[in-house]
Amino acid sequence: MPKLNRSPLPLTAEHDAPMTMRDGTVLRGDLYRPAEGGPFPTLLVRTPYGEPTFRMIPKIPALEAGFAVVLQHCRGRGSSDGEFRPWLDEGPDGHDTIAWITAQPWSNGEVVMSGMSYLAGCALQAAATRPPGLKAVVASMTPHDFHDGLKYHGGAFALGSALGWGAAQALLGLLHGMEAGEDAAKTGAGFGALLPVLGDQATAARTLPTGDIPGIPWWRDWTSHPERDAYWQELAETLRHDRIEVPVMHVAGWFDLFLAGTLENHRRLGGPLVIGPWSHLAPGASGTGRLDFGFSASAQAIRLENRQLAFLKGEDTGPAVKIFVMGDNVWRDEEAWPPARAVETRYHFHSDGLLSPAAPAATAPCTFTFDPRDPVPTVGGPLLLPDPTNVGPQDQRDVELRSDVLCFTTDVLTEDIEVTGPVAVTLHASTSAAGTDWTAKLVDVYPDGRAMSVIDGIVRASAPSGVHEIDLVATSQVFKAGHRIRVEISSSNFPRFDRNPGTGGPCAGATEADLVVQHQTVFPGSFITLPVIPR
């Protein structure tokens, strides 16, 4: 019988250890370190989601790798004092926390950081302050900017994710205030406004004007600044990529709402990149949405956690880029992202619904009518919505039955076509309204008729006509022989994005009476650009 020759690892733990920031605010966190030996390098993770997050962070592997571990609550969250202001304080608070760590007798003066989503943002914002002692960062599934790709995509407000995240943070703020002994009448009023939103986010999302959704302290700021103005620029100054000097490893998911952000972080900062077939709520899983990619698709199968720890220790020898190729369902190492050998190939939209590399002859345009009172529902995609099952690849057949969705489909493929890299739609289109949205979705049509979504995008048009570039971000998808490639074109994807009322003005202030029925025209010359990998 095999026997493991392992010795116990005695640990020292401190709960709610106080750390004083430069403005006197006391932040608190939990500390873990080996009881013997030292001094140690330290892994720091900062979170705004409270103590339950601490239980999800892999402390034991980090301790076994030789790190001390500090898990800290962001200000105004968990047991930390102060007021939570999304993104504003994470840079200086991270800097001060690293200074506190390196001053401890058990520290060897070296700190690394890791995290996912907001936690990864905390790490990058701290790195941008160039704190002495910070050596490396692992950043997973996080935006590169707080306006573009977080709250707005192609100019459209990311309603669903902003609503869900904002309501959850508002709830944490009210609970924090109660524990701190804030005025009961104030917190009671806050709960009264917020609980209906939390209890029925689908109804809340249909609130008009959108800017009037109650209970979320920052909601009007987010919705009343659709352009990248001084409000967003102040936040952008907290994440200056040109100030980040430490090595960064990036982890992304093909169905993560921050795929574009992670890819942009990698472009600006360099470092290893890993992209799996994962969503934001199920990072590292073997299946997403309605598709199971097999155990080999999981983070466990590629020992991702081990590689992340090796990177933080300065011992990573893995490939520069590692991607999961869907359809073939295999991992592949690449020298760079995007692969240089990809051939940008245009597939043109034909008026009879054909999608083809051949350009159409002079043909009639395609038309549809969009009514913002009945928007196209969000079915799958890179989502962060209350329904955790509505994410990733989903069957689009019901959506495609709608009269306000145009479909362009190839003939049945006679050979596999691999699409790996950035994807975009160039749309020559016009609307009868003063302004509108244009949406695009790339779909894999199976021989049995299933129409499984791959990626999607949106652009908000402020002029009635023009040429519109719809960014679908990127994918690595093999469309198998016997399948067909399809592109859907419409004018909404709700509640992932807010509805465009058609007024040509700010959308957040539109009332029910402002909603305009929009008659849409898609002209010949429109196409999708697919990065095809030669096989």
- Pair 309, 357 in one domain: no
- Pair 274, 298 in one domain: yes
Token pair for residue 211?
Answer: 């800017």
Closest to 307 measured CA to CA, from 276, 262, 340: 276
Closest to 481 measured CA to CA, from 535, 424, 404, 531: 535
Of 185-194, 228-237, 349-358, the poorest mean pLDDT is in 185-194
72 inside domain: yes
First vs last C-alpha separation in the chain: 48
Clarify whether 519 is annotated catalytic: no
CA 356 to chain centre: 31
- Pair 116, 223 in one domain: no
149, exposed or middle or buried, with CB in 10 Å at 0-12, 13-18, 19+? Answer: buried
Closest to 519 measured CA to CA, from 499, 497, 502, 496: 502
Closest to 320 measured CA to CA, from 307, 309, 335: 335
Give the residue-averaged pLDDT of 394-403. Answer: 98
CA distance 489 to 485: 14
- For the segment 186-197, what is each residue's pLDDT rounded down to a tens digit? 889 999 999 999
DSSP 8-state code for residue 241: G
2 inside domain: no
CA distance 158 to 173: 22
Residue with token string 């079915």: 379
Are 289 and 266 within 8 A, CB to CB? no
5 inside domain: no
Q: Which of 233, 256, 276 is the endpoint of a domain?
A: 233
Q: How many CB atoms lie within 10 A of CB 114?
A: 24
98 inside domain: yes
Are 326 and 332 within 8 A, CB to CB? no
Q: Which of 310, 334, 358 is the endpoint of a domain?
A: 334
DSSP 8-state code for residue 236: H
- Pair 368, 477 in one domain: yes
| Residues with Cβ within 8 Å of residue 62, at least 6 apart in sequence | 43, 69, 309
Give the residue-averaged pLDDT of 91-97. Answer: 98
- Using left for φ > 0, alpha for ψ between -120 and 50, and beta otherwise, residue 250 falls in beta
Side chain identity, residue 398? D
* pLDDT tops 80 at residue 426: yes
Give the residue-averaged pLDDT of 201-222. Answer: 97
308 inside domain: yes
Q: Of the residues 73, 144, 280, 483, which is catalytic?
A: 280
Mean pLDDT over each residue of the chain, to the nearest integer: 97
* pLDDT tops 90 at residue 534: yes
Rg over CA atoms, the chain: 24
Confidence at residue 3, expressed as pLDDT on a 0 to 100 scale: 87
Percent of the chain residues past pLDDT 90, beyond the cut: 96
Q: Of the residues 30, 256, 437, 456, which is catalytic?
A: 256
| Residues with Cβ within 8 Å of residue 400, at least 6 apart in sequence | 407, 451, 488
Relative to beta strand 436-445, strand 406-409 is: unpaired
CA distance 368 to 405: 7
Are 77 and 84 within 8 A, CB to CB? yes
- Pair 435, 523 in one domain: yes
Clarify whether 403 is annotated catalytic: no
- Pair 309, 364 in one domain: no
Using the Cα atoms of residue 426, residue 427, residue 433 and residue 436 in order, give the sign of their dihedral. negative
Q: pTM above the 0.85 mark?
A: yes
Give the residue-averaged pLDDT of 503-529. Answer: 96
Q: What is the DSSP string of 320-387?
A: SEEEEEBTTTEEEEESSSS-TT-EEEEEEE-TTSBEESSPP-S-PPEEEEE-TTSPPBP-SBS---S-
Q: Of the residues 80, 107, 117, 279, which is catalytic?
A: 117
- Pair 290, 396 in one domain: no
pLDDT bracket for residue 2 (50, 70, 90): confident
Clarify whether 114 is annotated catalytic: no
CA distance 189 to 187: 5
- For the segment 128-165, what is each residue's pLDDT rounded down to a tens digit? 999 999 999 999 999 999 999 999 999 999 999 999 99
| Residues with Cβ within 8 Å of residue 68, at least 6 apart in sequence | 31, 32, 33, 34, 38, 40, 41, 42, 43, 106, 107
Q: Which of 190, 214, 233 is the endpoint of a domain?
A: 233
* pLDDT tops 90 at residue 218: yes
| Domain count of the fold of the chain | 3
CA distance 173 to 74: 12
Q: Domain range spanning residue 173?
A: 152-233
- Pair 410, 317 in one domain: no
- Pair 495, 443 in one domain: yes
* pLDDT tops 80 at residue 386: yes
Helix (H) or strand (E) holding 166, with range, is helix 159-179
Are 470 and 440 within 8 A, CB to CB? yes
Token pair for residue 99?
Answer: 């200074």
- Pair 222, 187 in one domain: yes
